[in-house]
Amino acid sequence: MDRAGANELLDRLHQAQNAFYAGGESATVEELLASTITWTVPGQSPIAGTYRGIAEVLDYFRRRRELAAGTFRLIRRDVLVGEGDRIAALTDGVARIGGTERSWSTVGLYDIEAGHITACRLIPFDQAEFDAIWSGGQA
């Protein structure tokens, strides 16, 4: 996948996710995910785990929406592409969690097949801070 295609796909994904996190429907997000999607979130927070299939991934997204009370937003910073159908996206997140405005950065490693995301592996820049944020506390 070339850089322009990767940017377009991730912009569509983040726009759909941001709309969903703000209380919107899941249909636009679902259109971008393969039925066999696997989404992996490391750590010890309430959102950590490996989610398989669209239903589990959407449940994970709903959990983030609930924990952030509809305030969660993703901001794409940069995209790295190479040979094949794998994308690395540098993304910031911001949300009000536990009454405090928080922000963090991750790398998302995405596998793409036929224009659909088949896998995502999140890698927080600071795992302890990421866990504390999604646990409602301070790092």
List pLDDT tens digits, range 48-103. Answer: 999 999 999 999 999 999 999 999 999 999 999 988 899 999 999 999 998 899 99
Domain boundaries, the chain: 3-134
The yes or no reply on domain 3-134 and CATH 3.10.450.50 is yes
Q: Summarize pLDDT for 101-137 with one digit per residue, the tens.
A: 999 999 999 999 999 999 999 999 999 999 999 998 6
* DSSP letters for the chain: --HHHHHHHHHHHHHHHHHHHTT--SHHHHHHEEEEEEEEE-SSSTT-EEEEHHHHHHHHHHHHHHHTTT--EEEEEEEEE-SSSEEEEEEEEEEEETTEEEEEEEEEEEEEETTEEEEEEEEESSHHHHHHHHTTS--
Amino acid at position 36, single letter: T
pLDDT surpassing 60 at residue 3: yes
